[in-house]
Amino acid sequence: MCPDQTSNPKCILLFSGKRKSGKDFFTDLLIERIGHDNGVIVKLSAPIKSHWAQLRGLELSKLLDSSSYKEKYRQDMIIWGESMREKDYGYFCRHAIEMCRATDKSVWIVSDARRKTDIKWFHENYKNVKNIRIFTSDDVRKQRGWTFTEGIDDAPSECDLDDFTSWDFEIENNGNTGNLEESLNLILQLIKQEVPVIQGTN
């Protein structure tokens, strides 16, 4: 498809990382720097969570934030999501874009790419797509509340990108604020090259 990219989006950042690596944490910092007028966070898990919230009468906002609420339902959501992806790997990508009205914004920050096919879909359909991986040690993830859970941590939704190597950026998020700030600045520089209107932000 690759639409004319004088229109939105001008730049897409696809973030991935293991559970509790800090994807939400980092992308929340990034959107604050870019400004909500310029960018939007696209959550590929949003359509799954929205479906689940409706089906089970759950609170969507609590499923979407970084609280532990979502952990109770993660496995069921993974299984349902899996069956949908098998039929159409772009299904959640398209729905997530629609849900947050992303076409109004220049910079799309996809905070939860989990599959090679997520990455494939964005590259097939848009230009200026960057693949970004957040790396965090298991010890630090444990400190953030992660415990290895069968059916989740050994499932494709968590492991499919383990052997993917085509990262444009690799971010270490082991709690060193200096490293994180440096990564934020590098990514902001990249965005500013593509979207000059963001020049003024820092």
Ligand X SMILES: Nc1ncnc2c1ncn2[C@@H]1O[C@H](COP(=O)(O)OP(=O)(O)OP(=O)(O)O)[C@@H](O)[C@H]1O
Q: Which residues lie near ligand X (CB under 6 A)?
A: 17, 19-25, 66, 144, 173, 175, 180
CA 163 → CA 89, 131, 150, distances in Å?
19, 14, 20
Question: Smallest gap, in angstroms, from Cβ of residue 102 to ligand X?
Answer: 19
- CB closer to ligand X out of 8 and 21: 21
To the question of whether residue 22 is assigned a binding role by annotation, the answer is yes
To the question of whether residue 138 is assigned a binding role by annotation, the answer is no
To the question of whether residue 127 is assigned a binding role by annotation, the answer is no
| Alpha-carbon dihedral sign for residues 180, 28, 84, 129 | negative
To the question of whether residue 23 is assigned a binding role by annotation, the answer is yes
To the question of whether residue 133 is assigned a binding role by annotation, the answer is no
Q: What angle do CA 196, 22, 194 make, to 5 degrees?
A: 15
Question: Smallest gap, in angstroms, from Cβ of residue 19 to ligand X?
Answer: 4
Nearest Cα residue to 42 out of 95, 89, 116, 82 = 95
Question: Smallest gap, in angstroms, from Cβ of residue 199 to ligand X?
Answer: 27
Question: Smallest gap, in angstroms, from Cβ of residue 142 to ligand X?
Answer: 11
CA 1 → CA 4, 121, 124, 127, 130, distances in Å?
9, 10, 7, 10, 18
- CB closer to ligand X out of 8 and 27: 27
Residues comprising the binding site? 18-24, 144, 173
Which residues are part of a known binding site for substrate?
A: 173
